């Protein structure tokens, strides 16, 4: 009984999280890997920023941001070449091993007392965090479809946030137990643990779906300019790729401005290394705790407002941050700026961007993602870093003296406003951007308007489909065995058939041809095309039809309403003959089982007497 209760409670939890049992093992391994990566990045980041600011100096920070941008150009061009030669899993595993060994080498070199070691560690921190996060989400996009991404990526991010909380809590503990520099040994262990988990995850995926699921590799050479040449055809064909370029460029112009303002406020508030390290532990720990709480509801945010709607939150918060800096420049504003931007980026922005990247095919993503991360992102950071450096050097066009960091806020506000306008524009055209990945090009925009009687008829039929899914859930919860599985599958197929009939009826009223493209992708496309078709369909039909239609087509048993009453008795007199026959078989098996149980009970009673 206890085991059954545990299974029932775990089933309720899995359903509430929106997971499916066949995805559970891969999801857990991926989440644990991200947890280890994030915890290790937090430890290394706390160490690198503290030692750089106190052992080298905050005034060199704009220069380091500029150096980071230049270095990343070459690093990401090399990554683009490697992505064409090896699988995402192999590249991520080798990168993790390299990061671990190089951190151990730095720890062995600390006693030598070289001052330039700390700028090197600062660059390593930025590059390693960028590489590991980029390669992890690149692998995740190869493993999971866009529809899976909307459900699972926010939960995976939650696991990463738990790792960030652990890294933040562990930072001062490790520093108290020994030297601050011993944080690097803990980083070594965390990164190697992530390597093991990544290999276990890819073995599980290969066993379930074949090795090609996570291969994602092509042959050929790639360099910085070759990567640009590979990405340009994708951008010429895809408006979505162009919007992603803008959404990658503008926010990264703001990063050097905001980082410099926050670091300057922190440095002028905390005078020594131990207090600053304690502040960074609290600062990042608070980020991850709040981000964890927000991420638990991120999937519902995407379900309600869509991926494109979730992308509006981050630029709007940046507007508030720069207004705050214009009004008051102190540690409290800096803490709000760092925590709020970190929370939204980790809990909402990162999963949404990763899910949007999943709309592209593996070949397009291999060509486009290194270009976005290695060229566009770094161009943005380079522009921001040069701008900050010029303002701090006293050669700014408006004045002949260095600008205080507070005076950078108006410029940041202008860039954030431009970012928000771009995100709003993309949200308006999002359905057509998804349809382009299915081969549709046309002038029509926005949701399709149907006559009220058409919507009412569709809602009635979708109600029947949702009732079938609710009946399937009730049958699965109350019965087990082969006959119960067959009945559940038949009810799911019936729901999918009803939903597909609704789609065909709506298609007859759509003169733009968009629903025809969706139907054809659902019938004849591969798994990624079908996922993209459902994503587009959710944005095209009226809100009152979208949830039921997509859920019926997916045969989704999660998130529906509970079926009241005795389900088998209702299905036994159903209009569908196949349903009645399957129920009859199931009831016969249940009756046989009850008779056998009664016989065993009577036999046991006789022996006792």
Whether 416 and 523 map to the same domain: the answer is no
**168 lies in some domain:** yes
Q: What is the predicted pLDDT for the residue at 18? A: 55
* Residue 218 pLDDT exceeds 50: no
Q: What is the predicted pLDDT for the residue at 608? A: 41
* Higher local confidence (pLDDT), 608 or 189: 189
User: Which of 50-54, 68-72, 524-528 is predicted with the least confidence, judged by mean pLDDT?
Assistant: 524-528
As a whole number of angstroms, the distance between CA 239 and CA 172 comes to: 47
Highest average pLDDT, of 232-236, 337-341, 589-593, comes from: 337-341
**Confidence at 19, pLDDT banded by 50, 70, 90:** low
Looking up residue 101, the CATH number of its domain turns out to be 1.20.1250.20
Half-sphere CA count of 177, side-chain side, radius 13 A: 9
As a whole number of angstroms, the distance between CA 252 and CA 450 comes to: 41
**561 lies in some domain:** yes
As a whole number of angstroms, the distance between CA 563 and CA 528 comes to: 32
User: Which of 42-46, 137-141, 322-326, 505-509 is predicted with the least confidence, judged by mean pLDDT?
Assistant: 137-141
As a whole number of angstroms, the distance between CA 203 and CA 211 comes to: 8
Give CA angle at 386 (385, 387), nearest 5°.
90
**Confidence at 240, pLDDT banded by 50, 70, 90:** confident
* Higher local confidence (pLDDT), 70 or 36: 36
What would the mean pLDDT of 244-251 be, rounded to a whole number?
89
**609 lies in some domain:** no
Give φ, ψ of 586 to 5 degrees: -65, -45
As a whole number of angstroms, the distance between CA 551 and CA 534 comes to: 9
Cβ atoms of 189 and 101 closer than 8 Å: no
Sign of the Cα pseudo-torsion (556, 561, 565, 570, in order): negative
Whether 440 and 488 map to the same domain: the answer is no
Contacts of 123 (CB under 8 A, 6+ apart): 64, 67, 68, 71
Give the chain's domain count: 3
As a whole number of angstroms, the distance between CA 86 and CA 214 comes to: 11
Q: How many of the other CB atoms lie within 10 Å of CB of 600?
A: 10
**Confidence at 394, pLDDT banded by 50, 70, 90:** low
User: Which of 116-120, 178-182, 314-318 is predicted with the least confidence, judged by mean pLDDT?
Assistant: 178-182
Whether 74 and 164 map to the same domain: the answer is yes
Q: Indicate the DSSP class of residue 350.
A: H
Whether 39 and 104 map to the same domain: the answer is yes
What would the mean pLDDT of 326-343 be, rounded to a whole number?
88
Helix axes 88-109, 61-83, angle to 10 degrees: 140
* Residue 120 pLDDT exceeds 60: yes
**Confidence at 607, pLDDT banded by 50, 70, 90:** very low
Query: Domain span at residue 459?
Result: 452-593
What would the mean pLDDT of 16-37 be, rounded to a whole number?
76
The mean predicted confidence, pLDDT, of the chain is 79
Cβ atoms of 324 and 272 closer than 8 Å: no
SS3 call for 179: coil
Sign of the Cα pseudo-torsion (227, 370, 146, 338, in order): negative
Give the residue from 221, 253, 281 where a domain finishes.
221
What would the mean pLDDT of 179-190 be, rounded to a whole number?
86
Whether 205 and 338 map to the same domain: the answer is no
pTM, entire model: 0.68
The pLDDT tens digits for 340-357 are: 888 888 778 877 877 787
* Higher local confidence (pLDDT), 228 or 37: 37
Give the residue from 176, 195, 221 where a domain finishes.
221
Q: What is the predicted pLDDT for the residue at 324? A: 92
The pLDDT tens digits for 265-312 are: 888 888 777 788 778 778 878 877 887 787 777 767 776 777 777 788
Q: Kindly state the percentage of the chain with pLDDT values over 90.
A: 10
Which one, of 367, 87, 81, lies nearest residue 205 by Cα? Answer: 87
Highest average pLDDT, of 10-14, 79-83, 113-117, 296-300, comes from: 113-117
Q: How many of the other CB atoms lie within 10 Å of CB of 305?
A: 14
Q: What is the predicted pLDDT for the residue at 602? A: 47
* Residue 583 pLDDT exceeds 50: yes
**599 lies in some domain:** no
Q: What is the predicted pLDDT for the residue at 603? A: 41
SS3 call for 115: coil
Q: Which CB contacts under 8 angstroms, 24+ apart, belong to 277-281?
A: 277/46, 277/50, 277/171, 277/172, 277/175, 277/180, 278/172, 280/45, 280/46, 280/49, 280/50, 280/168, 280/171, 281/46, 281/168, 281/169, 281/171, 281/172
Helix axes 183-209, 146-177, angle to 10 degrees: 160
Cβ atoms of 285 and 292 closer than 8 Å: no
* Residue 71 pLDDT exceeds 90: no
Whether 284 and 330 map to the same domain: the answer is yes
- Cα 50–chain centre separation: 29
Burial of 219 (C-beta count, 10 Å sphere; 0-12/13-18/19+) = exposed
As a whole number of angstroms, the distance between CA 506 and CA 450 comes to: 8
Q: Indicate the DSSP class of residue 499.
A: H
Reported as type and span, the H/E element at residue 508 is: helix 482-508
Q: What is the predicted pLDDT for the residue at 22? A: 61
Cβ atoms of 218 and 346 closer than 8 Å: no
What would the mean pLDDT of 187-201 be, rounded to a whole number?
89
Whether 192 and 306 map to the same domain: the answer is no
**216 lies in some domain:** yes
* Higher local confidence (pLDDT), 18 or 121: 121
**601 lies in some domain:** no
* Residue 134 pLDDT exceeds 50: yes
Whether 313 and 426 map to the same domain: the answer is yes
- Helices vs strands, H then E, count in the chain: 24, 0
Q: What is the predicted pLDDT for the residue at 609? A: 42
- Across 245-322, where does the E strand assignment appear? none
Distances (CA, A) of 603 to 150, 396, 594, 596, 608: 55, 96, 14, 11, 9
- Across 104-206, where does the E strand assignment appear? none
**Confidence at 600, pLDDT banded by 50, 70, 90:** very low
SS3 call for 513: coil
What would the mean pLDDT of 170-187 be, rounded to a whole number?
82
Q: What is the predicted pLDDT for the residue at 559? A: 60
As a whole number of angstroms, the distance between CA 567 and CA 564 comes to: 8
Half-sphere CA count of 150, side-chain side, radius 13 A: 20
Q: What is the predicted pLDDT for the residue at 416? A: 94
Give φ, ψ of 296 to 5 degrees: -65, -20
Whether 210 and 152 map to the same domain: the answer is yes
**Confidence at 562, pLDDT banded by 50, 70, 90:** low
Whether 474 and 341 map to the same domain: the answer is no
* Residue 442 pLDDT exceeds 80: no
Whether 337 and 482 map to the same domain: the answer is no
Cβ atoms of 437 and 360 closer than 8 Å: yes
**Confidence at 211, pLDDT banded by 50, 70, 90:** very low
Q: How many of the other CB atoms lie within 10 Å of CB of 595?
A: 10
**Confidence at 222, pLDDT banded by 50, 70, 90:** very low
Whether 182 and 309 map to the same domain: the answer is no
**235 lies in some domain:** yes
**9 lies in some domain:** no
Q: Which CB contacts under 8 angstroms, 24+ apart, belong to 513-516?
A: 513/440, 513/442, 514/431, 514/432, 514/435, 514/440, 514/442, 514/444, 514/448, 514/540, 515/448, 515/540
Give the residue from 381, 416, 444 where a domain finishes.
444
């Amino acid at each position: 009984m206890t085991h059954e209760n545990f299974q029932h409670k775990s089933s309720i939890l899995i359903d509430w999280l929106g997971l499916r049992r066949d995805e559970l093992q891969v999801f857990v391994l991926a989440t644990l890997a991200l947890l280890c990566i994030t915890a290790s990045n937090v430890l290394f980041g706390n160490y690198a920023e503290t030692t750089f600011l106190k052992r080298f100096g905050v005034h060199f920070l704009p220069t380091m941001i500029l150096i980071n941008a230049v270095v990343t150009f070459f690093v990401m061009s090399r990554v683009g070449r490697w992505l064409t030669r090896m699988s995402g899993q192999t590249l991520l595993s080798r990168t993790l091993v390299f990061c671990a060994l190089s951190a151990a080498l730095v720890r062995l070199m600390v006693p030598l007392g070289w001052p330039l070691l700390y700028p090197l560690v600062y660059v390593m921190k930025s590059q390693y965090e960028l590489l590991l996060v980029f390669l992890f989400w690149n692998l995740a996009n190869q493993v999971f479809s866009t529809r899976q991404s909307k459900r699972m990526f926010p939960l995976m991010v939650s696991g990463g946030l738990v790792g960030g909380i652990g890294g933040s809590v562990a930072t001062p503990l490790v520093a108290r137990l020994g030297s601050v520099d011993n944080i690097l040994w803990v980083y070594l262990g965390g990164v190697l643990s992530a390597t093991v988990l990544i290999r276990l995850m890819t073995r599980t995926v290969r066993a379930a779906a074949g090795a090609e699921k996570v291969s994602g590799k092509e042959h050929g050479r790639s360099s910085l300019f070759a990567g640009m040449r590979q990405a340009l055809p994708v951008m010429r064909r895809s408006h979505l790729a162009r919007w992603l370029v803008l959404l990658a460029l503008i926010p990264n112009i703001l990063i050097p401005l905001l980082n410099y303002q926050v670091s300057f406020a922190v440095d002028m508030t905390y005078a020594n290394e131990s207090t600053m390290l304690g502040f960074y532990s609290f600062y990042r720990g608070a980020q991850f705790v709040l981000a964890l709480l927000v991420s638990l509801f991120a999937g519902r945010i995407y379900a309600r407002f869509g991926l494109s709607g979730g992308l509006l939150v981050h630029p709007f918060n940046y507007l508030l941050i720069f207004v705050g800096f214009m009004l008051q420049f102190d540690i409290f504003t800096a803490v709000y700026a760092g925590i709020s931007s970190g929370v939204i980026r980790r809990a909402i922005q990162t999963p949404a961007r990763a899910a949007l990247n999943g709309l592209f095919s593996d070949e397009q993503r291999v060509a486009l993602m290194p270009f976005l991360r290695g060229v566009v992102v770094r161009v943005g950071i380079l522009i921001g870093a040069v701008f900050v450096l010029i303002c701090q050097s006293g050669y700014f066009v408006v004045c002949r003296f260095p600008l205080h960091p507070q005076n950078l806020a108006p410029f940041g506000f202008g860039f954030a406003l431009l970012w928000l306008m771009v995100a709003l524009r993309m949200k308006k055209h999002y359905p057509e951007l998804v349809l382009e990945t299915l081969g549709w090009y046309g002038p029509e925009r926005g949701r399709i308007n149907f006559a009220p009687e058409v919507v009412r008829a569709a809602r009635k039929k979708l109600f029947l489909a949702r009732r079938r899914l609710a009946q399937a859930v009730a049958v699965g919860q109350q019965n087990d065995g082969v006959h119960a599985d067959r009945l559940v599958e038949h009810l799911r197929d019936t729901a999918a058939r009803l939903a597909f009939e609704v789609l065909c009826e709506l298609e007859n009223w759509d003169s733009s041809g968009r629903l025809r493209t969706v139907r054809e992708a659902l019938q004849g496309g591969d798994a990624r095309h079908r996922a993209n078709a459902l994503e587009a369909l959710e944005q095209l039909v009226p809100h009152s039809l979208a949830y039921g239609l997509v859920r019926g087509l997916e045969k989704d048993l999660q998130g529906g309403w509970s079926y009241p009453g005795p389900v088998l008795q209702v299905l036994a007199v159903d209009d569908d003959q196949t349903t009645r026959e399957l129920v009859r078989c199931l009831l016969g098996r249940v009756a046989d089982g009850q008779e056998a149980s009664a016989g065993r009970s009577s036999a046991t009673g006789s022996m006792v007497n």
